[in-house]
Amino acid sequence: MYSVGIDIGSVATKAVIFNGGIIESVIIPTGWSPRDASCEALERLLGKSGIERESIQSIIVTGYGRALADFADQAITEIACHGRGAFFLNNSVRTVLDIGGQDSKAISLDEQGSVTDFVMNDKCAAGTGRFLEVMAHLLGGEVQDLDRMAAGAEAQTITNMCTVFAESEVISLLARGASKESIARGILESIASRAVTLLGRVTMEQQLAFTGGASRSAVLQELIEQKIRAKLFVSPHAQIAGAVGAALTGWNALLRKSMTAPAREHNVSAH
* Cα(45)–Cα(113) distance, integer angstroms: 27
Query: Would you list the domain boundaries of the chain?
Result: 2-81+240-270, 93-234
Which pTM value belongs to this model?
A: 0.91
Secondary structure element (H or E) that encloses residue 24, with its range:
strand 22-29
Residue 228 neighbours by CB under 8 Å, 6+ apart = 196, 199, 204, 208
Closest CA to 247 of 9, 12, 8, 21: 21
Q: How many angstroms separate the Cα of 132 from the Cα of each of 65, 102, 105, 163? A: 21, 10, 16, 9
Domain 93-234 of CATH type 3.30.420.40? yes
The upper half-sphere exposure of residue 123, i.e. CA atoms within 13 Å in the direction of its Cβ, equals 3
Show pLDDT as tens, one digit a residue, over the chain (271 residues). 999 999 999 889 999 999 999 999 999 999 999 999 999 999 999 999 999 999 999 999 999 999 999 999 999 999 999 999 999 999 999 999 999 988 999 999 999 999 999 999 866 777 788 899 999 999 999 999 999 999 999 999 998 878 888 999 999 999 999 999 999 999 999 999 999 999 999 999 999 999 999 999 999 999 999 999 999 999 999 999 999 999 999 999 999 999 886 554 444 444 3
Domain 2-81+240-270 of CATH type 3.30.420.40? yes
Q: How far apart are the first and last CA of the chain?
A: 30
Q: DSSP assignment of 124-164, as one string?
A: --TTSHHHHHHHHHHTTS-GGGHHHHHTTPPPPP----SHH
Domains 2-81+240-270 and 93-234 share a fold: yes
